Amino acid sequence: MIKKLNARNIDAKECFYGHKACGGCGESLALRLALKVLGEEAYLSLPAGCMAAVSFIYPNMAFKNNAVITPFASTAAVATGIAAGLEALGKEAPLSVGFAGDGGTADIGIQSLSGAIDRGEKFIYICTDNEAYMNTGIQKSGLTPFGAATTTTPAGKAIHGCVTEKKNMFEIAAAHGISYAATASIGYPEDFLNKVQKAKECDGPAYIHIYTPCPTGWGHGSEITVDLAKEVVDTGLWFLAEYENGEFRLNKKPENFKPVADHLKRQARFRHLSEIEITQIEEMRDRKWEKMLKNWG
């Protein structure tokens, strides 16, 4: 039985320090917490994106770990290549981890991720989802939610932000028959720590999709990053689930959802939404939950 991780028993040592992410950046918190579990011996691969941009600012290096910037489309290819290299070198308990943003995962890196999961190699892939291409200035990605204003889906007269819904990236990873997949949120940090621990223990590929608010891109106060990440689960707009041994499992089934409107209006990217559009968002949420409860129970 693996020991349950919590704020008190995690490693006090920091492996991600002095980075240049904006104050209150959700992605940087996800990386920092993941590294508390993965440890300084893990080898990290990061494609272009905020986390690479804020860590490797020559001559600074904010990781204690060995870490490399990969070509954008190749996070999982590089991570599995490093895993093979570590094995060839006879490293004991080699651990190779890819960290990529939503754009780097659901759009640009999806092919190499699919290939790596398909090969069944042991590696961990963590998608830090801030729902747009932030490092290049807030462009829509395949994981931008309906209604969100980005620079490529602005809130104008004709169109009110993003017209598509989020790709089901967790289900896409699971559909490969992956060894372990999970969703998480930095609003539920201890749940995330334990999912990273499971991914670390697992023999094959593991995928974790974590929700990470971005104060700069979403237009919210830097102090409420964690609040929003908790609220999004409590409103049912995001969910905590796992896929293991071929089965889906919901970790949290809210009895009643918190009101969506209050949560959305705290973020500038949703402030233009009309009541009708907010109702539409609620309907999308209810459809998703109906399916999840029916199929994953």
Partner 1 sequence: MKDFKMSPRPLWKSLSDVPMGSSCSSFHICDTNAAWRVFRPVMDYSLCIGCHQCYLLCPDGAIHKEDAKVFRIDYDFCKGCGICANQCKPGAISMVKEDQV
Ligand X SMILES: Cc1ncc(C[n+]2csc(CCOP(=O)(O)OP(=O)(O)O)c2C)c(N)n1
Q: 107 or 244, CB closer to ligand X?
A: 107
| DSSP H helices in 163-249 | 169-174, 189-201, 215-218, 225-234
Q: Return the closest-CA partner of residue 239 out of 168, 137, 173, 163.
A: 168
Give yes or no for residue 191 binding ligand SF4 (CB under 6 A).
Answer: no
Q: 63 or 211, CB closer to partner 1?
A: 63
SS3 at position 167: coil
Q: 31 or 155, CB closer to ligand SF4?
A: 31
Shortest Å distance, C-beta 228 to ligand SF4: 12
Token reading at 216: 């700069």
Give yes or no for residue 139 binding partner 1 (CB under 8 A).
Answer: no
CA–CA distance, 183 with 124 (Å, rounded to integer): 13
Q: How many residues bind partner 1 (CB under 8 A)?
A: 41
Pairing of strands 180-185, 124-129: unpaired
Q: Which run of H or of E encompasses 129? A: strand 124-129
Q: 174 or 232, CB closer to ligand SF4?
A: 232
CA–CA distance, 152 with 155 (Å, rounded to integer): 10
CA–CA distance, 153 with 163 (Å, rounded to integer): 8
Shortest Å distance, C-beta 260 to Mg ion: 22
Shortest Å distance, C-beta 104 to ligand SF4: 12
Question: Quick one: which of 26, 104, 189, 213 contacts ligand X (CB under 6 A)?
Answer: 104
Q: Return the closest-CA partner of residue 215 out of 109, 131, 140.
A: 131
Token reading at 123: 């590696």
Residues 6+ away with beta carbon under 8 Å from 277: 147, 160
Q: Which stretch in 18-26, 112-120, 149-157, 192-200 sits in contact with ligand SF4 by CB under 6 A?
A: 18-26
Q: 22 or 250, CB closer to ligand SF4?
A: 22
**Interaction mask 240-269, ligand X, x per CB under 6 A:** ------------------------------
List of residues contacting partner 1 (CB under 8 A): 7-8, 10, 12-14, 16-26, 28-29, 32-33, 40, 58-66, 186, 189, 215, 221-227
List of residues contacting ligand SF4 (CB under 6 A): 21-22, 25, 27, 50, 54, 130, 134-135, 214-217
